[in-house]
Amino acid sequence: MARTKVPDPAPHGDPGLQPERTTLAWGRTMLALVTVSAIFLRWLPHHGFPILLLFAVSASAAAAIYFTQRRRYLARARGVANESIEADTSAILWTAFAGIVLGALGIGVVLAA
């Protein structure tokens, strides 16, 4: 009989603290990017293949959030336990950069059509 791996407990005492809320917020951001990716695919027949660049940027940003979520959560949970949390500025800046790129590419694709 195979044993299932039990998830690691939070390294802090209160499971409703800031790291959990931040994880939920990043999850909502990821879900929004996946939804936008699906919308871009719906635009494909009207705007043509340049829309695939928009899809690639939004899907890549969502994947990056997904694959870095555990590391980000554990760092914040350790920060709560140590009473010293620093903002993940690189994740915030990359997400903002992806939003700016999506906006600029979206305007370019719509104006070119």
Distance CA 49, CA 5 (A): 43
pLDDT tens digits for 15-62? 667 778 888 889 999 999 999 999 999 989 988 888 999 999 999 999
The CA-to-CA distance between both ends of the chain, in Å, stands at 58
Burial class for 54, CB neighbours closer than 10 Å (0-12, 13-18, 19+): buried
Q: In the chain, what percentage of residues exceed pLDDT 70?
A: 84
Would you state the pLDDT for residue 10? 57
| Residue 12 pLDDT level (bands cut at 50, 70, 90) | low
Residue 70 predicted with pLDDT over 60: yes
- Helix or strand run (H / E) with residue 33: helix 18-47
Query: Between 62 and 5, where is the model more confident?
Result: 62
- The answer to whether the beta carbons of residues 56 and 75 sit under 8 Å apart is no
Would you state the pLDDT for residue 73? 84
